[in-house]
Amino acid sequence: MLRVEPTALPDVKLINPQRIGDRRGFFSETYNRQRFAEAGISVEFVQDNHSLSAVAGTVRGLHFQSEPFAQAKLIRVVRGRILDVVVDIRKSSPTFGRHVAVELSAENGSQLFVPVGFAHGFCTLEPDTEIVYKVSAYYSAAHDHGLRWNDTALGIDWPVAPADAVLSDKDRRQPRLAELPAYFS
């Protein structure tokens, strides 16, 4: 059983897999190709990633890879809590520059499906937060790009002040939306 909810961006989906609880805890199918396809998500995932962020207020993003390594992603949290954010960066999209922000946690088990053509990032809301995600193309450093997380043009209400955010050096210097080449039409 898979409950798929639309978001404010038509192609971005919030997925709530069923959890079957018993005295021991719960069991959940976090990915089932057939059920996802029935729900309209027919993507072949080729790589699974896992990251740990030690400090609450860590921001990773906003990231995407360009063609031919563009990635759809399926994000979930296995420990802690994040505000997960996706931004539509398809230049001719009616929702270009618009974003969706949802809370994903180990507790709610929700997943966010991020299609190709979107930048993705998150802010951790608890220490020692771990996320696990599937991607539909292999990592390629040469095709890895970013968008400035706190570009005011995006209007994202991040739960951390810029001075307090823990960021990689790379993410401190990402271009703003207006400076981004047309990676996706």
Ligand X SMILES: Cc1cn([C@H]2C[C@H](O)[C@@H](COP(=O)(O)OP(=O)(O)O[C@H]3O[C@@H](C)C(=O)[C@@H](O)[C@H]3O)O2)c(=O)[nH]c1=O
**Looking at 50, 133, 138, 139, which residue is catalytic?**
133
Residues 33-62 that bind ligand X (CB under 6 A): 49, 51, 60-61
Binding ligand X by CB under 6 A: which of 13, 81, 90, 120?
A: 120
* Residue placing its CB nearer to ligand X in the complex, 32 or 49: 49
Binding ligand X by CB under 6 A: which of 67, 139, 153, 164?
A: 139
Spatial distance between the Cα atoms of 16 and 109, rounded to a whole number of angstroms: 7
Would you call 63 a catalytic residue per the annotation? yes
Q: Evaluate whether 16 touches 3 at the Cβ level (below 8 Å).
A: yes
* Residue placing its CB nearer to ligand X in the complex, 3 or 172: 172
Would you call 183 a catalytic residue per the annotation? no
* Residue placing its CB nearer to ligand X in the complex, 7 or 18: 7
Residue 179, number of CB atoms within 10 A of its CB: 10
Residue 140 is a binding residue for ligand X (CB under 6 A): no
Least separation in angstroms between residue 68's CB and ligand X is 16
Residue with tokens 């993003």: 61
**Long-range CB pairs of 103-110, under 8 A, 24+ apart, other chains included:** 104/75, 104/76, 104/77, 104/131, 105/77, 105/80, 105/81, 106/77, 106/78, 106/79, 106/80, 106/81, 107/81, 108/16, 109/16, 109/17, 109/19, 109/28, 109/30, 109/76, 110/14, 110/15, 110/16, 110/76
Among the listed ranges 25-33, 34-42, 95-103, 118-126, the one in contact with ligand X (CB under 6 A) is: 118-126
What residues are labeled active site? 63, 133
| Binding region for ligand X (CB under 6 A) | 49, 51, 60-61, 63, 73, 120-122, 139, 168
